[in-house]
Amino acid sequence: MHPDTHLRLHHQRAAELRAQAAEYDRVRRPGSGRTLRTRLGWIMVEVGLRLAQHPPARSARIA
């Protein structure tokens, strides 16, 4: 497939997926936006990922 044709198809499919995601979001959450439970869950995920990135510093053990 020609690269330009492939790129055009990629952009078209991406636009379709964005439209589907926006429609799904409107159907699923009609009014209030994110709930407290959802925000708290994502904050916990973010904190967990930050803790996992940096291992704790260990002091050298002298035998």
DSSP assignment letter at 54: S
**Residue 23: predicted pLDDT:** 85
pTM > 0.75: yes or no: no
Radius of gyration of the chain (CA): 22
Count of domains forming the chain: 1
Per residue in 2-52, pLDDT (tens digit) is 889 999 999 999 999 999 988 887 766 655 556 888 889 999 999 998 888
- Determine, yes or no, domain membership for 15: yes
**Domain housing 41:** 3-53
- Determine, yes or no, domain membership for 24: yes
- Determine, yes or no, domain membership for 58: no
**H, E, C per residue of 1-47:** CCHHHHHHHHHHHHHHHHHHHHHHHHHHCCCCCCCHHHHHHHHHHHH
Tell me how many degrees the CA angle 51-57-60 measures, rounded to the nearest 5.
Answer: 160
- Determine, yes or no, domain membership for 41: yes
- Determine, yes or no, domain membership for 59: no
- Determine, yes or no, domain membership for 37: yes
**Residue 15: predicted pLDDT:** 95
